Structure 1
Amino acid sequence: MSLYEASFRVKHECPYREISERYPDLTIREWYLNDCQVIEITAPGSPTEDLLEEIDELGTVLHESIDESGLHVVTQSCLCSLEDSIIERFESYNSLYQPPTIHRQGWEHYTVIAFDEGDVRDLLQDLEADRDIEVLSKTAITEQRIPHSMLAPVDQLFEAVTERQLAALRLALESGYYEQPRKTSLRELADRTSVARSTYEEHLRKAENKLLTNAGQFLRLVTATSTADPLDVEGRRRNEQPAD
C-alpha cells in the first residue's frame, strides 16, 4: 500500500500569517495542544519594538531570548475555534495533518498524508474554492519508514474515553495487568475500587476499545509501507524452501 504526501501553502485570515507578511524575515511555527496553541517565533537580527508589542498580544510568553542568532520566542495562546477550520477539512478527507503549521512571508505551510491519492486531490480542490493555495509537492511514499517526528495528538487518541474508563485503564496499567505474566487479575483490580467486577471490566474494555479505535489511523500509517506480513509464517516458509 502506498501513502500520499502533499505539501502546500495557503492564504486566509489569520493573525500569525498576517504578522509573517508584515515581517518577512520571521518564521512562525504553530502547534495545537489540546485547548491551546504553542507558537515558536524566530527571526534573524534584533526585533523592532513594534514586533515585540505584536508578539506580546498573541498570548502568554513562555520563553524569550535575543542573541547573535536573532530572536527566539515561544508563546502559548488560547485555541481559536476549530469549527470549519482547515484542520477539520483535512480530517473530512481522511488526511492526516503533520504539525507544525509554518507561517512565512504571508503564507501558511501545511503537510498532510493520506492513504488515497483521490482524497488528497479532493482536499486540494476544496481548499482552492475559497482561498489562495499553491501546491508545493505531491509525492507517493513507498517502502520507507514514517518519520518519528510525526506525533499523534494525545487528545485525539483519548477522544470519547470517559473519566471512569481512563481511571480503570490507569489502574490496570499501573498494577501490572498488561505485563507478561500478569501481576494482577480483574477481580483484584475491581476489589480496589468501589464498583463491581463486571462494572470495572466494562469500563476497562470500553477504554481499550476506544483507545485502539482512535489509534487505528496511526496504526495503519505505521504499517502501510510494509512490504511483507510479519504474521505470514507460511509465506516465509515457502520463500525459505530451496528451489528445485
Structure 2
Amino acid sequence: MRELVFALEYESGCNRVADALANHPGARVRSLSLHATAEQLWRVDHATGTPEALDAIEDAFLTSDYYADCLVTEDCGATQTTHILDRMDDTLVLYSDWERTPSCASVPHIARDHLGDGVLFETRHEGRHYTWRLIHSGEGDVAAFFDALEVAVGDCAQMEMLRTTEMTASVGGVDERQNRLSPDQEAALQAAVEHGYYESPREVDVGELAEHLGVPRSTLTYRLRRAEEHLAKQHVAGEKSPEETPATR
C-alpha cells in the first residue's frame, strides 16, 4: 500500500467552498467518508467554525456550482443533492451525492482511472488549501495520475506535493507514514527560524516572511501550520511511553 498526500490551492473565484473558508479564517471542512464509482460520488463532510462561517459553507454546498469536487470550471451538468445531517452553533455535517456527466472531472475519478479501484480518500479544507490523502495499492501509474490532475485543475489551483510513501507496519501495529516534512514545509520552517519569526518579540511577521520567500501569505501560513502540527504530534508521540502506568494510591 502507498500513501499520496497533496494540496490544491484554489485561486479566488474558482471554488465557492474555498472562497467561503478564505473569508472565515479558522473554519475547516474535513471528510468523514468519501466513496466514488465510475458514475457517482458521495461523501459526508464535517465543518467547524463560527455560525457565520457555517452559513457561508452551507450556502456554497447548497446553491453554487460546487459539484462534490468537480474540477470543471464551467457548469458540467452534473446532478448533486446535499442534505444537512446535523447543525449546531459551531459544527455542520453535510451529505452530498453527485451523479457525474462525461464532462465532469474530480480527484477521486481521476484516481480511479490511474490508480485502480479500492482507493481510500481523506480530505481537509481550510482557507484556499484543499489537502488530499490517498491510500492505494501501489500498482497504478502515479505520474499519469498527477499529469491528468494538473490538466483538469488548469489555472484554477496550484498543486503542491506533500508526501508519497510506502505504508508499512510499525512495531506497535500502527501504519508508519513519512516521518519528514515536505520540502516546502521544511523551507518555510527554516526561513521562519532564520528570520526570527519564532523569536519573542517576533523579528518578522508572516506577511514579511511570505514576501521574502515569494509566496502568498496564505500559502506560507498553511505550510507553517502543517509543519508545526507535524512536529507537535511527533513530540507528543515521543513523550508517551507504553511502560508508563498511572500512579496508584
Q: TM-score, normalised by structure 2?
A: 0.46
Q: TM-score, normalised by structure 1?
A: 0.46
Whichever structure has more helix as a proportion of its residues is: 1
Larger Rg over CA atoms: 1
